[in-house]
Amino acid sequence: MKELNIAVLAGDGIGPEIMEQALKITKAVCNKFGHKLNYKEGLTGAIAIDTVGDPYPSSTHELCMNSDAVLFGAIGHPKFDNDPSAKVRPEQGLLRMRQMLGLYGNIRPVMTFPSLIHKSPLRSDIVEGADFMCIRELTGGLYFGRPQGRSEDGNTAYDTCVYTREEIERILHLAYKFAGQRNKKVTVVDKANVLATSRLWRQVAQDIAPQYPDVETEYMFVDNAAMRIIQWPKSFDVLVTENLFGDILTDEASVITGSLGLLPSASVGIHTSLFEPIHGSYPQAAGKNIANPIAMILSAALMFEYAFKMMEEGALIREAVNASLEAGIVTEDIADGGKSYSTSEVGEWIVNYIEK
């Protein structure tokens, strides 16, 4: 028997509904394999601002630091999106959490589901069999660079992109480690023909690549990578890049599967690791029991695999999810005009599959 200590941060919008399903499935897996599950819930995002005035309260940070892994739902609320004068925003909590937990590497698997190939906006011959991993540096670059601000008259704004060799080395070693376990190819994405930070990225990558002689390394400008993800997604194995490029490319890549509601992610950290779906808080669907819980459930599978090295447990969750898709037990976003099921019905079906 193993003991799992996890922090549960449901967040805003559909976060609580999808988290409920992921927790049910986590409990079912722990029961099946004889593990002891301890979890505590914490506040983050807009609900934390409304409750305590801080999107990432110290009590939540303490909870995360004392946990082996963090399951995270989503943050964001329209009332902050539509108020440019808001001093505190939910997203500030997410950035602070990444920084304080040292969550330096975001891992997003991009894969297609055989029963949903037709949902992709791309031709089936282009996407069928696509299976690659995007690794995004998460604590450097434009999002954290200083100075940052606006001129006194408000008519000029500026952000600063900053990277150190140490930050780049850390994320590249992570990429090569994953490539070594996969198809042994790393694509380093930058804009080295224009940006000084990108030239440092490329120089560091060229220094590190010889340490991994069994892994093929290719270098690609970000604009070319954006085209290749659409034209030839099967050409990638592990794609690694900086924070802003990674933010954009991972969202582009997620479209390949046909629904944002299907893809999980992991953020590897110095202190702990965090697991979350790639979609946002989808406030229009909040409280309606219609949101797709699959990405959140697959994030729990990633948690078992990466945080606890429980590969069999993660594989069972994936098997159950694939079975639910094959059986047409899906929410309205991927129902194709046929019968759709509620968030909780999908969760319950997957729990029953795991138990049986």
Query: In terms of domains, do 164 and 234 share one?
Result: yes
Q: What pLDDT shows up at residue 78? A: 87
Query: In terms of domains, do 185 and 206 share one?
Result: yes
User: Residue 144: inside a domain, yes or no?
Assistant: no
User: Residue 57: inside a domain, yes or no?
Assistant: yes
Q: CATH number of the domain that 68 lies in? A: 3.40.718.10
Distance, CA of 57 to CA of 34 (rounded, Å): 33
Distance, CA of 226 to CA of 219 (rounded, Å): 13
Instruction: Evaluate whether 302 touches 273 at the Cβ level (below 8 Å).
Output: no
Domain boundaries, position 312: 1-119+258-356
Query: In terms of domains, do 106 and 202 share one?
Result: no
For the question of residue 247 being annotated catalytic, the response is: yes
Query: In terms of domains, do 309 and 287 share one?
Result: yes
Q: What pLDDT shows up at residue 80? A: 83
Query: In terms of domains, do 221 and 283 share one?
Result: no
User: Residue 202: inside a domain, yes or no?
Assistant: yes
Query: In terms of domains, do 213 and 290 share one?
Result: no
User: Residue 252: inside a domain, yes or no?
Assistant: no
Q: What pLDDT shows up at residue 354? A: 97
Distance, CA of 120 to CA of 273 (rounded, Å): 30
Catalytic residue among 56, 163, 176, 191: 191
Mean pLDDT (the chain) is: 93
Query: In terms of domains, do 163 and 263 share one?
Result: no
pLDDT in tens, 117-135: 888 899 999 999 999 999 9
pLDDT in tens, 307-335: 999 999 999 999 999 999 999 999 998 88
75-79, 112-116, 297-301 — most confident range: 297-301
Q: What pLDDT shows up at residue 275? A: 97
User: Residue 143: inside a domain, yes or no?
Assistant: no
Number of domains in the chain: 2
For the question of residue 12 being annotated catalytic, the response is: no
Query: In terms of domains, do 102 and 126 share one?
Result: no
pLDDT in tens, 5-20: 999 999 999 999 999 9
Share of the chain above pLDDT 70, in %: 99
Q: What pLDDT shows up at residue 118? A: 84
User: Residue 250: inside a domain, yes or no?
Assistant: no
Q: Which two tokens stand for residue 158?
A: 């500026």
- Among 183, 217, 242, give the residue marking a domain's end: 242
Query: In terms of domains, do 14 and 107 share one?
Result: yes
Q: Report residue 169's pLDDT band, with 50, 70 and 90 as the boundaries.
A: very high
Q: What pLDDT shows up at residue 115? A: 81
Catalytic residue among 143, 282, 341, 353: 143
For the question of residue 159 being annotated catalytic, the response is: no
Specify the pTM.
0.85
User: E strands of 66-193, at which residues?
Assistant: 69-74, 103-111, 131-137, 149-150, 157-158, 185-190
Q: What is the mean pLDDT of residues 228-240?
A: 97
For the question of residue 309 being annotated catalytic, the response is: no
Distances (CA, A) of 198 to 222, 225, 314: 10, 14, 36
Catalytic residue among 54, 68, 159, 251: 251
- Among 210, 242, 274, give the residue marking a domain's end: 242
pLDDT in tens, 251-267: 899 888 877 778 899 99
Query: In terms of domains, do 184 and 91 share one?
Result: no
For the question of residue 223 being annotated catalytic, the response is: yes
- Among 217, 242, 267, give the residue marking a domain's end: 242
| pLDDT beyond 80 at 41 | yes
Query: In terms of domains, do 208 and 291 share one?
Result: no
Catalytic residue among 54, 68, 159, 247: 247
Q: CATH number of the domain that 203 lies in? A: 3.40.50
- Per DSSP, the three-state class of 247 is helix
Q: Which two tokens stand for residue 199?
A: 């030239």
Query: In terms of domains, do 266 and 156 share one?
Result: no
Catalytic residue among 223, 288, 309, 336: 223
